[in-house]
Amino acid sequence: MADHLITVRVIDREGQAHTLEAPTDMGLNLMELCKSYDLPVKGTCGGMALCASCHMYVLSKHELPPPSDDEVAMLDSAFFVQTNSRLGCQIRLRDDLDGLEVQLAPESE
């Protein structure tokens, strides 16, 4: 990738794939990236792992930093959770995540 730019593939809740270009030198996380592309990710709590509105499934084999206690706790009380569930707001975009593929989890109340 050139100039700290990576590509992330996001599959929305209708199954539509979106290819997003993401800078890695701005401290963006995956929730913020999706919001900036107007994908239906609410990010209600602003990225504090408090609401699970950015719940996603990681489809690609990228090695992600393990979830923090806060994220584990949040996922524990979220719904539609699978073994590949993560909160987008806790995934900081880095150069080694080029080609990352995620799917938005269903919305819950």
Q: Using CB under 8 A, list all residues that contact other proteins.
A: 42, 44-46, 48, 50-52, 72-73, 76-81, 106, 108-109
**Least spacing, CB of residue 50 vs other proteins, in Å:** 7
Q: How many CA atoms lie within 13 A of 54 on its CB side?
A: 24
CB 31 within 8 A of CB 54: yes
The whole-angstrom separation of Cα 58 and Cα 87 is 10
Residue closer to other proteins, measured from CB, 98 or 107: 107
Cβ-contact 54, 88 below 8 angstroms: yes
Q: How far is the CB of 63 from other proteins (least distance, A)?
A: 22
Of 4 and 42, which CB lies nearer to other proteins in the complex structure? Answer: 42
